[in-house]
Structure 1
């Protein structure tokens, strides 16, 4: 009888441990199993320059969302970037989305100016005022080769 009680206690302990790990994985992984607390808008960029899915979206240095799906609009040949934003964030039709770099060679992120006038963007509507990523390599090579041409 004592052995069955011990086996039951061990089984219960393992079950509680597995449930705790599953709960933490859902919370840390921002899983959508239990529902979504974000809204999605799109932004059109002519060049995303290394921006990846999962990159941060920031307003004044504060994280307000993550980059979702990135796809190419074959009709207009622009990158369509899905922005998953905090649900309580209000974005207007005069919003500006810019691709920035953390440091000189850091990760890319989207800097968002939510705007303030006009109409509120509904979920799925695009942000049309965007600033594409700056290509550091071309700037450096233009500076280096431009200096050589001037010196000759």
Structure 2
């Protein structure tokens, strides 16, 4: 008899614990699916739902406010997504709000995101349809990354070829970088050009004092002085005109 009572007691405890665990599980699932809160329904059309599933979260301003409850085809190019949102959030969602599909992290589950509207002040109603925006697909993003990597590879190959030609080529730039004698020749040429320029300046200065050419340089100097004087007089006249205009009564 005692053995039967012990068996029944253990069985009863097992059943009670199982029921408690079942109730806790139902509570958390229902909480995540918004089964125990007042909700309203919204709709949005997409060309591609990008792996969105029933039960995925709906976010508004970064906060989970609902869940996706139905995904169905409207035509061969349009998919209608129905989602439940907490009633308490309805007052913040306007008719120009935008729905989009994103990811919870880089490789996480898909989420439906509602972006707040910026113009309309009219609140959405139950069963309203809000516009959608196309999200950037991971495949498109990877294609862009691949193009960048390919371009970087081409640039690297060109730099490697340029460096090799610089070190082993016979061009002037390669010789300048690697041949000391060629570099010395270029340096000597530049020094000679500087000396030639200096000598030309000295010859011009000497020519100015030559009695045969002195008249020409003096004439040129006087013409420059006359031109500068005329410019100064013109500026002075303009200043006087401006001063006289400012003194006239309005």
TM-score of the superposed pair, with normalisation by structure 2: 0.49
Give 5+ residue unaligned stretches, structure 2: 155-250
Residue number in structure 2 paired with 1:93: 95
Cα distance in 1 between the residues matched to 2:7 and 2:49: 57
Count of residues in Structure 1 that have an aligned counterpart in Structure 2: 143
Could you say what the CA RMSD is over the residues aligned between the two structures, in angstroms?
A: 2.8
Among candidates 111, 114, 117, match of residue 115 of structure 1: 117
Change in 2 beyond 3 A, CA 1:52/1:133? farther
Flag the structure with higher helix content. Answer: 2
Q: State the Cα deviation string for residues 12-65 of structure 1 (Å, max 9, x = none).
A: 31231122022012112228xxx5523221111122222222222112222111
CA contact (8 A) 2:56 2:111 kept: yes
Structure of greater Rg: 2
Residue number in structure 1 paired with 2:17: 17
CA contact (8 A) 1:48 1:132 kept: no
CA contact (8 A) 2:61 2:116 kept: no
Cα distance in 2 between the residues matched to 1:11 and 1:106: 42
The structure whose RCO (Cα within 8 Å, separation 6+) is larger is: 1
TM-score of the superposed pair, with normalisation by structure 1: 0.74
Residue number in structure 2 paired with 1:80: 80
Residue number in structure 2 paired with 1:60: 61
Change in 2 beyond 3 A, CA 1:25/1:105? closer
Cα distance in 2 between the residues matched to 1:83 and 1:66: 6
Give 5+ residue unaligned stretches, structure 1: none
Cα distance in 1 between the residues matched to 2:103 and 2:83: 17
- Once the two structures are TM-superposed, the CA of residue 4 in structure 1 deviates from its matched residue by 4.7
